[in-house]
Amino acid sequence: MQITETIHALTIPFTVPTPAGPIPRSVTVYLICGQQVTLIDSGVAGCEVPILAYLEEIGRGGEITRLILTHSHPDHIGAARALRAATGCAVLAPATERAWIEDTERQARERPVPGFATLVGGPVAVDHLVHSGDVIDLGGGLQLEAVAAPGHSAGSTAYFLRREGALFCGDAVPLPHDLPIYDDYRTSLATLERLAALTGVELLLEAWTAPTHQPPAARLAAGAAWLREIDAAVHRAASAGSPADPLALCRQVVEVLGLPAPAANPLVARSLASHGGALPG
């Protein structure tokens, strides 16, 4: 759907298989259609089909000039290889995330995700490395400013289209009552504070969910509140004499938070372990 003069959003469903059962997910990718077409994130393998179909529908078939990645996780890079092959687009990504984008087998070893091979269509070369503070020229007077947004991943980066007040933040802002998935709790909180301090943000455009009318300040506050609720649940479970096994502790925290049983998985346990010694690493 078109949400501003130049920005279009596509929310694409997919499923993550886990031993406890499939977890339905979705990812929202964004097209900036100005003089040139820029895609923010690619979705999982197979997302190239609806993305390319949408471009045909709006009369911009195959016109992706550049694909800009917010970070290296499967639901953001999974279709990058196919989109590069279909459009010849340049790939831009945060410097810290490059290794896992160009070597997806390494990512699968170092951060195992159920169904990784079905979610990621292979590695892709990064043409341009992005650092916080960089300004990316999209043509026709449109510019994206790179803003460091670590926590969800070490190199997560948001992109600010200041002319339209739109901040593309990937997964940097936790979604209340959704799976806790981040590298570091405290870094995530600090990122939310930094994003809240940005001036001129009128639209917070996330990958977790389709665009909403919630004011950016309220959404950022809700994300911070959810992180603190998770932290409190983690410490309650630890202080109650929970078992030393991280996954067993994860099950207890998931139950306290009212999350579905498949949320008790190694990826979530890894996130909970970042809460400062409450859980064993």
Instruction: Tell me the pLDDT tens digit for each residue of 30-88.
Output: 999 999 999 999 999 999 999 999 999 999 999 999 999 999 999 999 999 999 999 99
> What is the Cα–Cα distance from 150 to 111, expressed in whole angstroms?
16
Is residue 14 scored above 80 in pLDDT? yes
Most confident of 5-19, 81-95, 237-251: 81-95
Residue 67's beta-bridge partner residues?
39, 91
Instruction: Tell me the pLDDT tens digit for each residue of 62-75.
Output: 999 999 999 999 99
Instruction: Tell me the pLDDT tens digit for each residue of 254-274.
Output: 999 999 888 888 889 999 999
210 token code pair: 């389709």
Task: Kindly report the backbone phi and psi dihedral angles of residue 3, in degrees, each rounded to the nearest multiple of 5, phi listed first.
Answer: -115, -20
Using CB atoms within 10 Å of the CB of residue 41, give its burial: 0 to 12 exposed, 13 to 18 middle, 19+ buried: buried
135 token code pair: 């300004």
Confidence of residue 126 (pLDDT cuts 50, 70, 90): very high
Kindly state the percentage of the chain with pLDDT values over 70: 96
168 token code pair: 């593309």
> What is the Cα–Cα distance from 84 to 25, expressed in whole angstroms?
24
Contacts of 258 (CB under 8 A, 6+ apart): 177
| pTM of structure | 0.94
Res 279: pLDDT: 43
Is residue 132 scored above 80 in pLDDT? yes
User: Going from the N-terminus, what domains does the chain have, and what CATH number goes with each?
Assistant: 7-215 (3.60.15.10)
The angle subtended at Cα 63 by Cα 168 and Cα 126, nearest 5°, is 60
pLDDT mean across residues, the chain: 93
- 8 A C-beta contact, residue 152 and residue 170: yes
Confidence of residue 5 (pLDDT cuts 50, 70, 90): very high
